[in-house]
Amino acid sequence: MVFFFCQTPPEILDKLLCVLASAVWGYLRHHKLKLQCKEVLSSFVQLETWRQKPASLGRRFRTTDRFRMRCGNKLLIAMLFILIVLFYRITITPLTFTNAAYSNSGNQNALKGQTGDSLDSDLSEGIRAVRMKQFVEGSKGLLLDQSVDISTRTSAVEFLPPISKILIVTTWRSGSSFLGEVISSLPDVFYSYEPMAYFETNNGSKTELIRSLFQCQFPAGYLSYINGVEVPRRKFMILNKRVWGACRHNRTLCNQPEFVGQQCSTSNIHLMKTVRLRVKELSPLLITDPAFTNWKIIYLVRDPRGVMSSRNNLQWCVRDPACNDAGRLCSEVNEDLEELNRLQNLFPNQLYLLKFEDLSANVETETKKLFQFLNMPFSRSVKDYLARHTQSNPPVHRPGETFRESKSVASAWKTKMSMDRIANITGVCIPTLKILGIL
């Protein structure tokens, strides 16, 4: 037996322990049933003692006791053998176990850092494992040539594979809030909601802010704005579940660039959604930034008549010429579609055109296609979100509400606007409707 232990690899001993434990469990269940049958028989014998002789009755009870003793002896031997194997496994072969644990914990620590509760999910760790594998395979030659020892580095973030960067570009009332929440329903998503709103009260470059955020560098003024310090109703940080959950015990952390940057750096996915950016404004960044190879851009477009019908629910939009002008809307969409077509020829795997009407009519099918383009899993959390948000309409409609009966929302404008208004928008937007294949 000692020779067997010494010659057996640790992984074989681990499997042996599992087999023995399963066998003991099966043995217990099997003989527990036998014991129960014996108990029933004994009870029946006790009830029928007037038919039995005392000597015969005693022999039946002694038989049951002997059966219990045999079961106990066999169980004791099996448990003793398992303890011997387990003791040998722990005490004689600690080095192999320790080295494996050290290797695994090193990779996990490099990936996790100080992360939130969402990193505990299996799906999140699965995405991390895929990213790390791709990164190691791509960097293997470089690491070998330079003799780099990952375990000696002080900053684990340096060795994280690139974060998947997703940018949703669209116009007001095109369904982007719903699409953003669908993607952010995945675990470990860092969600930047409407970052361009910062420039309503501040000066700066939109493209530089996008570049900075995607590099996990957050200006203090920007963090103050999205935390509602300047404008309380602009508290967009709440929608970033990763950061908001991590700073739930100390909300001041949400205003600290270092803390938010760390949460961003250790995320698998950085999602950004904006209605305040045109595709032509984004083009210079895409062409000049070498990091764009890790980007995925989704252009979400909706029937202009549906957009204008939805905008009628916004009081500020009715008073704003930039929002309530159907001609301006269709002109901007035309420019976006033309520029998108040009960029798709340059970057065929980076840009995706999604029609709101297609998403509403076949929400699960279109979401699966989108997630395939994004190289992301169509997980249980996404299915649950779609089931909760697309099956029924809320009793009271609020702007930005993402609960809808998806199949009816796309054509709701037909009953909400007058025929004259519909005809007016259709006449102004004929080129756009033709490009979208609606006319």
Mean pLDDT, consecutive 10-residue stretches, the chain (439 aa), reads 48 63 65 53 48 50 56 69 66 42 39 41 52 48 39 40 86 93 93 96 93 95 94 92 93 95 94 96 85 88 95 86 91 96 91 95 94 93 90 57 69 92 96 92
- What integer pLDDT is reported at residue 102 of this predicted model? 35
Cα–Cα separations (whole angstroms), residue 339 to 68, 137, 202, 211, 345: 82, 35, 27, 20, 10
User: What CA dihedral angle connects 93, 95, 100 and 103, to 10 degrees?
Assistant: 170
Cα–Cα separations (whole angstroms), residue 117 to 156, 239, 271: 20, 16, 19
For residue 38, how many other CB atoms are within 10 A of its CB? Answer: 18
Find the distance separating the first CA and the last CA of the chain, reported in whole Å: 82
For residue 36, how many other CB atoms are within 10 A of its CB? Answer: 10
Q: Closest Cα partner for 394 from 381, 413, 409? A: 409
- The answer to whether 257 and 220 are in contact (CB under 8 A) is yes
Query: Alpha-carbon distance 160 to 156, whole Å?
Result: 7
Domain ranges (residues) in the chain: 2-92, 97-159
Query: Alpha-carbon distance 410 to 32, whole Å?
Result: 62
- The answer to whether 419 and 425 are in contact (CB under 8 A) is no
- What integer pLDDT is reported at residue 231 of this predicted model? 86
CA torsion sign for 206, 231, 300, 371 is positive
What is the pTM assigned to this prediction? 0.64
- What integer pLDDT is reported at residue 110 of this predicted model? 36
Distance of CA 274 to the CA centre of its chain: 20
